[in-house]
Amino acid sequence: MPGLLKNAHRLLDFTTCLLQESHHTFYIHGPFLANRNFLLTCDPANVNYILSKNFTNYSKGPEFGKIFDILGEGIFNSDGHLWEVHRRTTMSLFNSAQFCRMLQKTVREKVEKGLLPVLDHVSKHGIEVDLQDIFQRLTFDNISSLLLDHDPQSLTLDLPDIPFQKAIPAVEEALFYRNILPEIIWKMQNWIGFGKERRLKKAWETIDEYIFTCISMKRQQVARTNSHHMSSADEDDKLDWSAAYMELAYKENMGSPNKFLRDTLLSLLIGGRNTTSAALSWFFWLLWKNPLVESKILEEIRTNLQTNELKSWMLFNKKEDLCKLVYLHGALCEVLRLYPPVPLNNKAPTQADILPSGHQVEKDSKIVLSFYSMGRMESIWGKDCLEFKPERWITEKGEIKHEPSYKFTAFNAGPRSCLGKEMSFTQMKIVATTIISTYRVQLIESHPIVPRDSIGLKMKYGLKRVKRAQSLKRGCNLIHSMLNCLIWEFGLFELRGREWQRHG
């Protein structure tokens, strides 16, 4: 406990050091009577055993539902039959051809009408902007449009304050500390309305107001459409998520249909907003630190899409276009390996068990899987595990190399693996290609980049600044980028690659 308190500002890296010193598995003993004892592991054999081979014995556990009570009975909180119902329904919707068409159309339109105008505006006027905030607004607008058929339009030139957007960080921070503090302490804070628990209560009200308002608007829209017997090609091509889950609630006799719908949609909203925006933020930070990777991605875009003036949101009408970008895919996988959006995962055995590492676990005891640490283990990824190398994801034939999910755990593993994996890659590739081909992402040198105290792996102080490529054509920019790489790689000047652009 003294070590945890001393290193609270770098908790993920501290636990990674513990796991490196203890052969990937470590017992943590909290203060007496605090009920803070748990097993921490990043051993691939243990992860595979818990998430796949003996999946039925490892549930979320009784403590998980208390900590994440705001999620209700959504897919992230549920176990057993309820979870199976959630997963079966969500999978059928995600895998439908209708959803694939809706996804690409929604993302392209938001890039065209939201992302590009905002970035053009801030780059033209030299405005400092937080790219992490931009990406959160982008993904929130997208997932809200897809699930609730409502675009909150948070990504516009004035970057308006959206209550739901501001509420999420308060929720994530409170839930993070619930995982650290003894239950009696955070419950007492919640009862008296103090600190992070007080902010959580207010955020909960804000979130519920947004979701129930959207549900009400959707019902009114459906009622108007039915009363006028109106139909259009666009409407027929849409998936009505609210209707699908409402029907499920009645079919499965879930009690309050409104609450079930709220819990379901909230989990999907948070998952769709947080994970992709976090990955994009870390991606552009790593790209800025590795200009050679950026030049290779830009060259791949030009070679495979055969265009000098790329408007990616107009080009990606087919999934095959995205599949051509192998090196970009490798770079995104490398980001997710080093900075998984959900860095930790909690499990609890329903029966006592012995893990492949030989460690014994008692019934209902707490097990924490550190996905963040797995990407930093030499025994798993080699001596270059801390390097950003998209090449490790590409085979000798130039194809995408697939790693087992219990080794590359960014999308979880086993029966509870992430259903939104393809949706995330689609969004990330469209956004990354658009920005790389149109802008020079230039970050502030002195701006600190550290993880925030949150259940999601986000940047504590954001990701600042973006600059449009000046009046050069992208062919010239490619050469320019390669010169930056040569300067950087061979140390010809005491200048960072981005400073060369600024002075040269």
Residues that constitute the known binding site: 418
User: Whose CA is closest to 299, among 275, 328, 278?
Assistant: 328
Q: How far apart are CA 140 and CA 169, in angstroms?
A: 13
Q: What is the DSSP string of 371-408?
A: HHHHTT-HHHH-TTTTS--GGGGB-TTS-BPP--TTTS
**Cβ count within 10 A of residue 291:** 23
In angstroms, how far is CA 194 from the centroid of its own chain?
A: 29
Which segments of 306-343 does DSSP mark as H helices, in order?
312-315, 319-323, 326-338
Which residues, listed in sequence order, are joined to residue 344 by a DSSP beta bridge?
Answer: 370
User: CA torsion, points 488, 493, 496, 501, in degrees to nearest 10?
Assistant: -100
Residues 13 and 381: their CA atoms lie apart, in Å, by: 17
Give the whole-angstrom CA distance, residue 185 versus residue 179. 11
* Share in percent of the chain as helix, strand, coil (round to 5): 60, 5, 35
8 A C-beta contact, residue 349 and residue 58 = yes
Positions at the binding site for heme: 418
Which residues on adjacent β-strands are paired with residue 349? Answer: 58
**Residue that the structure tokens 């945890």 belong to:** 4
Nearest CA among 435, 434, 437, 427 for reference residue 105: 427
DSSP 306: -
Q: Are 444 and 464 in contact (CB under 8 A)?
A: yes
d(CA 504, CA 295): 18
